[in-house]
């Protein structure tokens, strides 16, 4: 919603559901998230297709090329994955889309196993905390 409100394009992805825990590349020198890769829970179909002018992609994957954005001026941050999701909640999301018939077993079954990957939610949570509490 933020990306679209600021002039980017977001819509339902042609790739379908992103479920479980995906591994994202971390842009070097982004100033917020340390390391080169991070595994995070996700549950989405919509995603940013084209970031707004001036936005820098700081998290990306083949499935979600613009998973984390730092916007022009550095005053706004958005992330597609869900650092607030526990493993149990990520698994519940998988079951919900399966039970509603929104995603086939061929998507849900591997997503359930991915949900148990080593998590980076605390690392991303720390980066978000630093972003929100830094001096302007």
Give me the domains of the chain, ranges plus CATH numbers.
2-123 (3.40.50.880)
10: pLDDT confidence band, cut at 50, 70 and 90?
A: very high
Q: How confident is the model at residue 109 (pLDDT cuts 50, 70, 90)?
A: confident
End-to-end C-alpha distance for the chain, whole angstroms? 24
* pLDDT (mean) for 71-95: 89
Across all residues in the chain, what is the average pLDDT? 91
Alpha-carbon gap, residue 3 to 13, rounded angstroms = 15
Q: What is the pLDDT of residue 89?
A: 87
Least confident of 47-56, 65-74, 101-110: 101-110
Tell me: pLDDT of 43 over 80. Answer: yes
Dist CA 67 CA 58 (whole Å): 8
| Phi and psi, residue 43, nearest 5° | -160, 90
What is the model's pTM? Answer: 0.88
């Amino acid at each position: 919603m933020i990306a679209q409100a600021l002039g980017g394009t977001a819509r339902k992805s042609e790739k379908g559901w992103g479920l479980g825990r995906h591994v994202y590349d971390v842009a070097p020198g982004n100033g917020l998230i340390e390391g080169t890769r991070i595994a995070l829970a996700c549950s989405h179909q919509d995603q940013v297709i084209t970031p707004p002018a001036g936005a820098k992609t700081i998290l990306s994957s083949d499935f979600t090329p613009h998973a984390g954005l730092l916007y022009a001026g550095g005053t706004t941050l958005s992330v597609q994955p869900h650092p607030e999701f526990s493993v149990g909640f990520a698994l519940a999301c998988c079951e919900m889309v399966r039970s509603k018939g929104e995603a086939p077993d061929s998507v849900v079954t591997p997503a359930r196993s991915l949900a148990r990957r080593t998590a980076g939610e605390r690392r991303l949570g720390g980066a978000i905390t630093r972003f929100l509490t830094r001096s302007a």
